Amino acid sequence: MKPSTAIALSVGLLVWGWTFVTFSYLEPRVLTWVTFLTWASFYAAGGGVSGLAKSMASGIVGVLASAAVMWMGGQLDAGAHHLTILTLLLGVLGWLLCTVAALPLLSCIPANFIGAAAFFGAGSPIDLKLVWVLGSLIAGAALGFASQRLGQALAKLTASAAIRGAGRS
């Protein structure tokens, strides 16, 4: 089996199992769509242990920086100028999410923005739901790692079986 086929199979199997569990037992505390975002960020970060660390750290920074921006926006309520202040803060957020990528652990800009998008997509919660976003983000990165490892194992297993089968001919 080609490595890309093995990864596709592993992702399909894990998506099936994960969505069954989350839709049946864990929603709304686990935000399944957030897990899919960070699953993708794992691969965008290059995969492996390094990609796992980058996707989690970058996503967490994106979430927390977005929460800080929304909190500051609420503190700086400028009446008629609130929209101007908020959009300025969001511009600073975009700049920050790119600037922190100079740090090796936060070097995956897509994962930084995925964390921010997860926070805003969940309704910008600065309450217990923020913990759910962070937990879902971590679960998604872990699923990315698991899908990669499972795909590698499937590819190796089928390659070994093919070699053994060829030796019998």
pLDDT tens figures, 87-144: 999 999 999 999 999 999 999 999 999 999 999 999 988 999 999 999 999 999 999 9
Rounded to two decimals, the pTM is 0.89
Q: Where are the domains of the chain?
A: 34-150
What distance in Å separates the CA atoms of residue 36 and residue 99, rounded to the nearest whole number? 25
pLDDT reported for residue 53: 98
Can you give the pLDDT at residue 168? Answer: 67
Check the CA dihedral 145-125-109-57 and report its sign: negative
d(CA 165, CA 102): 49
Please give the residue that has the higher pLDDT: either 165 or 98. 98
List, for residues 3-61, the tens digit of each pLDDT value.
Answer: 999 999 999 999 999 999 999 998 888 999 999 999 999 999 999 999 999 999 999 99
Tell me what pLDDT residue 27 has.
Answer: 82
How many Å apart are CA 84 and CA 79, to the nearest integer?
10
Q: Contact, 23 vs 99, CB < 8 A?
A: no
Q: What angle do CA 16, 17, 23 make, to 5 degrees?
A: 85
Would you state the pLDDT for residue 87? 93
Measured CA to CA, the distance from residue 63 to residue 52 in angstroms comes to 16
What is residue 124's DSSP assignment? -
Give the pLDDT confidence score for residue 158 in this predicted structure: 86
**pLDDT at position 144:** 98
Residues in Cβ contact with 72 at an 8 Å cutoff, skipping those fewer than 6 apart: 89
Q: Give the residue from 156, 124, 145 showing the smallest Cα distance to 56.
A: 145
Q: What is the pLDDT of residue 169?
A: 58
Confidence of residue 167 (pLDDT cuts 50, 70, 90): low
Sequence-distant (6+) residues with CB within 8 A of 24 are none
